[in-house]
Amino acid sequence: MRQSVDLRHACRLVNHGPTVLVSAEHGGRRNLMAAAWSMPVEFTPPRIAVVIDKSTYTRELVLAAGTLALNIPCRALADVSYTVGSVSGRDDPGADKFACYGIGHFDGPALGLPLVEGCVAWMECRRIPEPHAEQAYDTFYVEVVSALADDRVFSAGRWSFRPDNAELHTLHHLGAGRFAVAAQTVQGRLLPARGRGT
Amino acid sequence: MRQSVDLRHACRLVNHGPTVLVSAEHGGRRNLMAAAWSMPVEFTPPRIAVVIDKSTYTRELVLAAGTLALNIPCRALADVSYTVGSVSGRDDPGADKFACYGIGHFDGPALGLPLVEGCVAWMECRRIPEPHAEQAYDTFYVEVVSALADDRVFSAGRWSFRPDNAELHTLHHLGAGRFAVAAQTVQGRLLPARGRGT
């Protein structure tokens, strides 16, 4: 079910703008937060930008460890996604959100980071230090070092959103816990040119 | 139909990761390209990061003018979105893509930038010069100075994707002209904490 994704296809996992869950671990402490704001910046090597607010406990762990994981939740995880995006691990750092909310996890293959059970894709990443972007725009640039996906919804380098895998469709945060679901697909066609403009 | 969007809600237009069309104009030349990679970085003031490749003609215009517009296409514009993302304005700068493909446009209210008819939201933006991010990651940081949306699908600061406005749902690029459509929504609920972890 979980299959390795070739790193040259890793950015396709977030190309369509899904909400991600950022997990991090350092010195025996771990945490998890939702991030609506991420985007690829390069296919090869696979690099992604993700916004991590200064108020978050996860940011502390990312800066200390130099690594983070991006987990891509699906429709079945809408409640988990909203919850870990609404509660700060800073409120009680003794109680990590995995334990508080009974969120299962497994170890990432490259870095051993805690990856969220029930998600549909996972990437372990190393921080590329960019202190100015981190400070001015809360933007962290990271490079993907391992990628996995659930082959019921992502295989051969492509997402496949179908009626028979509806619970596995990705979430796209609209605000206040409401998510758009990538529930249908459409194929664009190339238009013929009408000739030179003026 | 087109209504002004309060700037404090502008980032909600792209919060869920839609593909955008970047339009730009300088010295009587204009162009249009698709960008799958953008994200908000701050709600107030509304600031957005967008990846614009060095090979694009649009990038030249953005650097010269210091401004750009983000147009959010919908399902009805899947062919236009794929086409302007597949053809470079550099191939024949005398023929802008608006004219080549018969794409209608109107003038933006704040900066007069060419905005794409048939899209469901529009933002005029000023570039925040960040030469290092632009060079290293092709990432442009911009600040939104005007925002409009089609009130059949975005009103009171919120997207509303319903069966009766299916042609107006946003597009999320999967690759090779295939788009996921934000066709359904789901409301996440807050989970109860199970108590302290160990």
Supply the ipTM of this predicted assembly: 0.95
First to last CA, chain A: 54
Q: Which of residues 154-193 of A touch B (CB under 8 A)?
A: 158-159, 161, 170-175, 177-191, 193
Residue A30's closest CA among A86, A73, A84?
Answer: A84
**A95 contacts chain B (CB < 8 A):** yes
Position A90 scores a pLDDT of 74
Percentage, residues of chain B above pLDDT 70? 96
Size of chain A, expressed as the number of residues it contains: 198
Beta carbons of A194 and B42 less than 8 Å apart = no
Position B197 scores a pLDDT of 44
Beta carbons of A180 and B178 less than 8 Å apart = no
Confidence at A191, pLDDT banded by 50, 70, 90: very high
Q: Which of residues 26-85 of B touch A (CB under 8 A)?
A: 36-42, 47, 49, 51, 75, 78-83
Instruction: Between B89 and B42, name the one with better pLDDT.
Output: B42
Position B96 scores a pLDDT of 83
Query: Please, what is the Cα angle at B37 between B33 and B39, to 5 degrees?
Result: 120
Tokens for A116, please give them. Answer: 């969220």
Position B142 scores a pLDDT of 98
Tokens for B112, please give them. Answer: 């007069």
pTM recorded for the entire structure? 0.96
Position B136 scores a pLDDT of 98
Position B94 scores a pLDDT of 64
Q: What does the DSSP assignment read for A75-129?
A: GGGHHHHHHHHHS-GGG-TTS-HHHHTT--EEE-TTT--EEETT-SEEEEEEEE-
Q: Which residues contact B51 (CB under 8 A, 6 or more apart)?
A: A39, A40, A41, B35, B37, B38, B137, B138, B139, B140
Q: Is the pLDDT of residue B198 over 60?
A: no
Confidence at A93, pLDDT banded by 50, 70, 90: low
CA distance B135 to chain A (A): 11
| Distance, CA of A32 to chain centre | 11
Which residue on chain B is closest to A45 by alpha carbon? Answer: B137
Tokens for A94, please give them. Answer: 């003794």
Position B195 scores a pLDDT of 60
Q: Is the pLDDT of residue A20 over 70?
A: yes
Confidence at A197, pLDDT banded by 50, 70, 90: very low
- Indicate the average pLDDT of chain A: 95
Confidence at A70, pLDDT banded by 50, 70, 90: very high
Q: Which of residues 98-157 of B touch A (CB under 8 A)?
A: 98-102, 130, 132-133, 137-139, 141
- Indicate the average pLDDT of chain B: 95
- Residues of A within 8 A of B183 (CB-CB) are 180-181, 183-184
CA distance B70 to chain A (A): 16
Please tell me the distance from the alpha carbon of residue B140 to that of residue B62, in angstroms, as a whole number: 10
Q: Is the pLDDT of residue B56 over 90?
A: yes
Percentage, residues of chain A above pLDDT 70? 96
- Residues of A within 8 A of B182 (CB-CB) are 172, 180-182
Please tell me the distance from the alpha carbon of residue A53 to that of residue A88, in angstroms, as a whole number: 11
For B156-191, letters b (16+ CB in 10 Å) and e give: eeebbbeeeeeebbbbbbbeebbbbbbbbbbebeeb
Please tell me the distance from the alpha carbon of residue A166 to that of residue B197, in angstroms, as a whole number: 32
pLDDT digits (tens, 9 = 90+) for A96-153: 899 999 999 999 999 999 999 999 999 999 999 999 999 999 999 999 999 999 999 9
Query: Please, what is the Cα angle at A182 between A179 and A187, to 5 degrees?
Result: 150
CA distance B176 to chain A (A): 8
Ramachandran region of residue B157, left (φ > 0), alpha (ψ -120 to 50) or beta? Answer: left
Neighbours of A125 (CB within 10 A): 29
Confidence at A194, pLDDT banded by 50, 70, 90: confident
Mutation target for B interface from A57, A96, A97, A184: give the one with most B CBs within 10 A: A184
Which residue on chain A is closest to B196 by alpha carbon? Answer: A95
User: Pseudo-torsion of CA B19, B21, B22, B28, nearest 10°?
Assistant: 180
pLDDT digits (tens, 9 = 90+) for A45-57: 999 999 999 999 9
Please tell me the distance from the alpha carbon of residue A79 to that of residue A99, in angstroms, as a whole number: 16
Position A198 scores a pLDDT of 40
